Structure 1
């Protein structure tokens, strides 16, 4: 004789206590299964729409302006196209002055890519060590690093220039690269994330199995800290890519300029060469493309780490 056991589920969709089942909650609904009031949804969507317009309007203007000549930039409506020739104008940007813009673009990729990668690895190692290895003075070291977050980069540019001049490194690639590999915020973020996302029991199990500390860090620590490392890399990449003051102080050779400094030099000569207005706008449009691509590629790593630590064991 068989007995059927059925679970009683209330009408609101929530399982009965003690059944161990949980109904999936649709996005936008509260835990009780009901949607927020309509006025709250309207306010939320309206605020998000205003924020999206605020951030996207400058990008739209840049796209439209990159298709115009220098005369059309000042003589036509700024938010609509007028006799667009985007391929022709962008080709002129890339070929002007023997392709100097391509060199600036490559310099920026090198500064930002190498600097952000080195800063991420250094921050990961420092944050992991501060989180998982107790040693005398650890909190003091961490407090000094936190103080570094409060110091603006512009305040350090001149002392760095004097130091690099004494070392013979001024007006070289190293003058921009070396300061870029230090990220106090990255160390802070990596320490906080390592303390929360890398369990001590897992590290102890790896040590019992005979793994060395370097192998544990490279195979376990870095993998578990991936969302934090992606965040540090992206923040540092954007910071170096948009950095203007440090290259301005350190560099005098235009062949070493990054994009931001190069475009500023074009704008300075635009009064005597009006076509440089269009080249500056077209170059600015091309300069935002790597950041857009990088954001689109790396955002999936953020999503994988959004729920880290949200489930109680």
Structure 2
């Protein structure tokens, strides 16, 4: 009768020892998986990306003289952030606000349209078999390798013949074409959308468009958000296309408008006014992109189709 408690106590001690040994082995395995070289590379990459943003943030707090007389990552003699913001939105009758609105319209319309077209094209190439599908996909892959600058002049001549230059459509329509988005959605749709789900929907009498918009798009959600975000950033930062297509300042996006201010400042025409204004404008222009990324990242998930099909 007295052996049972002793045996139980010994078992508990033995179990505790095994648990500690197991935890120790897991800790050693984690330490072995760590790489000092990779850790250093990660920190260098982090510094590489964050230092320019830190410099931009600090520079928005300086006036023109402090920009050239103080350390780039150090504060100036006075805090001029709010003064620079007011000057940015008041300069030239507040044209920066118009540029910002133009950029939002160009980027949102282009990214939504490009994501929709890429989704439909990628889904069709992945799930339908038709004559010439391989050739079409090969052409799309090849077009990814063509630099956009090589298409600038032909695009301009095409839009000039259609009398669409110096209009918002001259920026929006070319941005709707995303060969990389089509490629990405084709690859994503091939894995995310199971054939058995499509066949079950067809047996239930659903049409192809209903299947696409009610089933396939939900399963391809992360891919759609990826294309949307990529195209949003690309259109927001696009400089060369609006530069050659637009000539009216009120139609400029932020990139072209700030570049003109910078050229004016560098050329000596009001340099004592525009350098801090241009830097503040560059800082303000990245805020919507940060907000868009923080909002869309929660939709950036994988495995939405897990459990949708039972083996």
The Cα shift of 1:81 comes to 1.1
Taking the aligned partners of 1:308 and 1:217, their CA distance within structure 2 comes to 15
Once the two structures are TM-superposed, the CA of residue 307 in structure 1 deviates from its matched residue by: 8.6
1:297 aligns with 2:298: no
Unmatched segments (≥5 aa) in structure 2: 1-14
Show CA shifts across 1:243-278 (max 9, x none). 111111101111111101000000111121121111
Counterpart for residue 6 of structure 2: none
CA contact under 8 A between 1:67 and 1:85: conserved in structure 2?
yes
Gaps of 5+ in 1: 1-8, 14-25
Q: Is 1:188 aligned to 2:183, yes or no?
A: yes
Alignment correspondent of 2:269: 272
SS in 2 for 1:269: helix
Deviates more, 1:180-189 or 1:35-44: 35-44
- 1:1-12 aligned at under 5 Å gives the runs 11=18
Structure 1 counterpart of 2:215: 220
Task: Return the alpha-carbon distance in structure 2 between the equivalents of residues 308 and 59 of structure 1.
Answer: 38
In structure 1, which of residues 118, 125, 128 is the aligned counterpart of residue 120 of structure 2? 125
Q: Give the Å deviation of 1:298.
A: 1.5
Q: Deviations over 1:53-100 (max 9, x none)?
A: 110000000000011111111111111111112112111101111110
User: 2:38 matched to 1:44?
Assistant: yes
Aligned equivalents of 2:310, 2:154: Cα separation in 1: 49
Aligned to 2:160: 165
Q: Select 1:253's aligned residue among 224, 248, 251.
A: 248
Any idea what SS the aligned residue of 1:193 has? helix
Q: What residue number does 2:284 align with?
A: 286
Q: What does the per-residue CA deviation read over 1:164-216, in whole Å, with 9 as the maximum and x for residues that have no partner?
A: 11110011100000000000000000010001000010011111111111111
Indicate the structure with greater helix content. 2
Q: Structure 2-normalised TM-score? A: 0.87
Partner of 1:108: 103
Which structure has the larger Rg over C-alpha atoms? 2
Q: Number of residue pairs matched?
A: 289
